[in-house]
Amino acid sequence: MSENWGTGRQWLKAELHAHCSLDPEDRCMCRHTPGQLIDRAASIGYRILSVTCHDLDVWTPDLADYARERGITLIPGMEVTVERGRHVLVYNFRTAAENLNTLEKIRARSGPDTLVIAPHPYFPDRSCLRGMLRRNPDAVDAVEYSGFRVGGLAFNRRAVRLAEETLKPLVGCGDVHFLWQLGRTFAWVYSEPAVHSVLHAIRRGRVRLETSPLAWREAAAWWATAVWRKAVRGKGLDEVEDGRGLGTAQQSVKP
């Protein structure tokens, strides 16, 4: 899918919620390095990608160059933890996670070049914003439609309703922990392929959703693999290999 009406804008395939082997919280679940994530995304047509590790921005100029050589614009991003364990996706804030650990701090630092998405807001997990989102709709720019969905369960329904009521864009994201999740639920963004343009386009609602549910056996395999890897690898895993020498974890740029 590619359209260009002379403005330089095109429909760009985007994944804005993905974890990797550098993730401080989920590294024992995710075996793929940032480079491998970029490689796979590029191979199936993605043009926009953000590696949103928990409380750590792994974006570096080298990694962005690596992505650009493969046709992908890499958006700086994190899945930060706020208000006693709730998750929020933040993009292009260029500051450390501890400066974004409350909705008030996020609100204070938000600007025209940043983006905030409420991930999996109504899933049955204490990491979800739930009622806090409805009480603070101004803290986020968009609402995630989570790719972690299986037939018969409608955990995204309230997110869709909230997005409609608050006139916020709904952004499809895979919450990718395993590479096979790419290509199932994602966003198309009508934008030029530059970081600020993409974030601006999403804030303006130039985004649409593509989604297909996971089969029950896929969801079961996801949980089984996650639990097994956490049990086997979760303890004492101090080093993760990065076969390409890319994406060495760094603390975000301090203000």
Residues that bind Zn ion (CB under 5 A): 79, 87, 119, 175
Given a contact cutoff of 8 angstroms between Cβ atoms, the answer to whether 121 and 190 are in contact is no
Dig out the tokens for 46 from the structure.
Answer: 């993605």
Q: Are strands 185-191 and 207-211 parallel, antiparallel or unpaired?
A: antiparallel
Given a contact cutoff of 8 angstroms between Cβ atoms, the answer to whether 155 and 130 are in contact is no
For Zn ion, the closer CB: 121 or 190: 121
Residue nearest to Zn ion according to CB distances in the complex: 87
Residue 98 Cβ vs Zn ion, minimum distance, rounded to whole Å: 18
Measured on CA atoms in the order 39, 248, 21, 85, is the torsion positive or negative? negative
Rounded Cα gap, residues 75 and 171, in angstroms: 15
Beta strands in the chain (DSSP E): 10-18, 48-53, 56-57, 73-74, 77-82, 86-91, 115-118, 142-146, 170-173, 185-191, 207-211
Q: Helices marked H in the chain — which ranges?
A: 34-43, 61-68, 103-109, 131-135, 157-166, 195-203, 216-233
Rounded Cα gap, residues 80 and 67, in angstroms: 23
